[in-house]
Amino acid sequence: MFKIRPLLSALVNHIQLIDRNGCKFLCTMMSEESPDQQAAKLLKRPNEENEESAERAAKRVKAEGEHTEDDKKYPKKKVVLLLAYSGKGYYGMQRNPKNSQFRTIEDDLVTALVKSGCIPENHGDDMKKMSFQRCARTDKGVSAAGQVVSLKLRLIEDIIEKINEHLPPQIKVLGLKRVTQGFNSKNNCDARTYCYMLPTVAFSPKDYDTEKAAAFRLEPETLQKANRLFTLYKGTHNFHNFTSQKAPTDPSARRYITEMSCGEPFVRNSYEFAVITVRGQSFMLHQIRKMIGLVIAVIKGYAKEQVMERSWGQEKVDVPKAPGLGLVLERVHFDRYNKRFGGDGLHERLEWDREEEAIKAFKEAHIYPTIIETECEEGSMVSWMATLPIHDFEATVSETQDSKDQKQVRLNS
């Protein structure tokens, strides 16, 4: 009977001899293994190793090419989607995979993209794989009539209809256009236009009985004063007081506003409403709501007009933040992109004239009714107005906390 162990012993001795000439790694590996393991490695056929490598490669190709057939039939292309949604019940636009209990607009959008076959399922878990980028990050409860997102997806047949089949009624894709490969909806955006719908009782005198909010009607003189104050925001200012955790020396606090005005009032559900429109290059967190909140405080007589100039200075000013309910991202602008690529014969201009009727219909069906009904039922603006006396517009924020506490005690007593 053939004895393998003496042969192995001789082989190990031979390897140790080689080790003395510099092959330390091989000796170490062999010495750590039992003679049977060493024999198995020595007697292993080269084609077995090739078979294992081929198996691993096949598994990797299968994993990477999970959706190969769909990708061949519908190659992924860079596009933008025109999106409209009512923000009520959502915790803003941006998805947060680590906090899935707080539903966002992007959560429902990504789910619809996967279910419709526009993107592979693994792209839903890692949005970087589809180069996803939103133009504006709307906050909790904020709606949009003209949000734009850029991403790579499969251009399947009837793509808009199939995506919308998997979306709730309060979210809808209204348009799609091809864009350049390097397009980024946030970085390529020149300006953003927001609207803010509010009950005109917000501009009532501070001693007005808010129990009669439905009966209030805005005087033309008050509207003119409001528009004069809104005009002061035009141009470049340091808006560090109109957001949170922004130092007055931070260059990013300087923002450029091109337009801000309040339109003529109208009546819905017996209440009078008006719409404020603001267009700017970009906006910080809560900036628009604070811009509106400060003007309301001045109109109502809680603050002097000079506080607006002070708020752009270096000192920290306590600026009230209006409710988020009425805020709507109206549209986003891509003037530079349109000028460079819109006439090259290969790409479309990022304008949505053909979708205007659909945008208007969505606002009338889902955005405006939600704002009006919620305001009439919950009175978010009237409730917020009751907090204005707590603010001290003459002092800086460092001085106001004690006075706020004292005023709150007086209001509750």
CATH number at residue 92: 3.30.70.580
Residue 109 belongs to a domain = yes
144 and 205 in a single domain? The answer is no
Domain count, the chain: 2
Please state, in angstroms and rounded to a whole number, the distance separating the CA atoms of residues 164 and 378. 30
Please state, in angstroms and rounded to a whole number, the distance separating the CA atoms of residues 259 and 346. 33
CA-to-CA separations, 143 to 171, 175, 271, 302, in angstroms, rounded: 10, 17, 21, 29
229 and 308 in a single domain? The answer is yes
114 and 166 in a single domain? The answer is yes
Domain hosting residue 84, numbered range: 72-178
Task: Output the pTM of the full model.
Answer: 0.78
331 and 224 in a single domain? The answer is yes
For position 233, what pLDDT does the model report?
98
CA-to-CA separations, 238 to 229, 289, 316, 318, 389, in angstroms, rounded: 17, 16, 11, 15, 25
Residue 198 belongs to a domain = yes
DSSP per position, 106-139: HHHHHHHHHHTTSS-HHHHH-GGGGT-EES----
Residue 44 belongs to a domain = no
156 and 115 in a single domain? The answer is yes
125 and 218 in a single domain? The answer is no
Task: Report, as residue numbers or ranges, the catalytic residues.
Answer: 139
257 and 392 in a single domain? The answer is yes
Does the annotation list 337 as a binding residue? no
Q: Provide the residue-wise pLDDT of the chain in tens; the chain has 413 residues.
A: 444 455 445 554 554 544 454 444 433 444 445 555 554 454 445 455 555 565 655 545 454 555 556 666 788 899 999 999 999 999 999 988 777 789 999 999 999 999 999 999 888 788 889 999 999 989 999 999 999 999 999 999 999 999 999 999 999 999 999 999 999 999 999 999 999 999 999 999 999 999 999 999 999 999 999 999 999 999 999 999 999 989 999 999 999 999 999 999 999 999 999 999 999 999 999 999 999 999 999 999 999 999 999 999 999 999 999 999 999 999 999 999 999 999 888 889 999 999 999 999 999 999 999 999 999 999 999 999 999 999 998 876 554 444 444 445 444 54
